[in-house]
Amino acid sequence: MKLNYKSYGHGPALIILHGLFGSLDNWVSHARALEKEYSVFLLDLRNHGKSFHSPEHNYAVMAEDVQAWMMGESIISANVLGHSMGGKVAMELAGRYPLSVDKLIVADMGIKPYPAHHTLILETLSTIPLHTMDSRKAAETYLMERLGSDTATVQFLLKGLGRDEDNRLEWKFNFPVIKQNYTRILEGVSPEVFEKPTLFLYGGKSNYVVPEDFPAIKARFPAVIFQEMPGVGHWIHAEAPALFLQYLKEFLG
């Protein structure tokens, strides 16, 4: 079972891992901005995008998926960037396979466990009658009514909409398995110490990474650099793409 991916450009390898409910499509514009300097590989993690569905969904198996994909593509080592859930996968990969990771970039995610904070989204996705809806607009209206007009979240979720073989709307991500394994997604990670250069980018308006988290992170990643992006929330790459790319290039360069 191989992960779905797209590649862009030529140069040192850079693997990018998306977050919960996302897909590689969320990172295409960033890949195109980097393709003149890097071979950028965008991966769909298991139970997301066009990758395989599996009843198992935790950071250990997702890290193994990425390592297996690298071996299948004859990529000995790469820079690895992960956002949110993808950040924990990247950290787990670096801890398990340090020779496979040259530099590690974690976008707005810590190593700690998190309290449940997707309850409303999970409830909404559990009740939306997709198969009776004839358009994306109908799905958008349903989501907006129930998510308090949170436009950014609604538009993000709508990117996960596809159609089945009968042309009915369906989620690309494996929602039943994600919901069943939600507590596993909230879990912290305790990777082995990774001594290579590591960048933690975090949003100044986000509470995913705060200064109180720094000592525990530094214990696992002693060569870490912390970089705040002021005025930016959890989706740091989407809210401030130019600044995000600037920090990324400076770190990789």
DSSP letter, residue 134: -
- On the question of pLDDT at 149 being above 80, the answer is no
- On the question of pLDDT at 67 being above 90, the answer is yes
Looking at the chain, the whole-number percentage of residues with pLDDT higher than 90 is: 92
- Produce one character per residue of 3-12: b if its CB has 16 or more CB atoms within 10 Å, e if not: bbbbebbeee
Confidence class of residue 150 from pLDDT cuts 50, 70 and 90?
Answer: confident
**Residues 53-66 pLDDT 10s:** 999 999 999 999 99
- On the question of pLDDT at 20 being above 90, the answer is yes
Do the beta carbons of residue 111 and residue 190 sit within 8 Å?
yes
- Domains of the chain (ranges, CATH numbers): 5-113+187-252 (3.40.50.1820), 119-180 (no CATH)
Residue 100 has φ and ψ, to the nearest 5°, of -85, -15
How many Å apart are CA 251 and CA 103, to the nearest integer?
A: 9
Per DSSP, what are the bridge partners of residue 40? 8, 14
Query: What is the dihedral sign for C-alpha 175, 43, 89, 19?
Result: negative
Give the pLDDT score at 220.
97
User: Higher pLDDT residue, 124 or 166?
Assistant: 124
User: pTM here?
Assistant: 0.96
**For the chain, how many residues are written?**
253
Active site residues: 84, 234
Q: Give the CA distances from residue 38 to residues 41, 59, 74, 233, in Å, rounded to whole numbers and listed in that order.
A: 9, 26, 16, 27
Give the pLDDT score at 1.
86
Per DSSP, what are the bridge partners of residue 107? 83, 201
- In 97-150, which ranges are continuous DSSP H helix? 119-127, 136-146
DSSP letter, residue 210: -
Q: Which two three-digit tokens encode residue 164?
A: 């089945």
CA 177 to chain centroid, in Å, comes to: 17
Q: Which two three-digit tokens encode residue 37?
A: 């300097």
Do the beta carbons of residue 53 and residue 26 sit within 8 Å?
no
In terms of DSSP bridges, do strands 78-83 and 224-229 run parallel, antiparallel, or are they unpaired?
Answer: unpaired
Q: Once rounded to an integer, what is the mean pLDDT over residues 234-239? A: 94
Q: Which two three-digit tokens encode residue 252?
A: 């990789």
Give the pLDDT score at 50.
95
Indicate the SS3 state at residue 17: strand
Q: Once rounded to an integer, what is the mean pLDDT over residues 200-227? A: 97
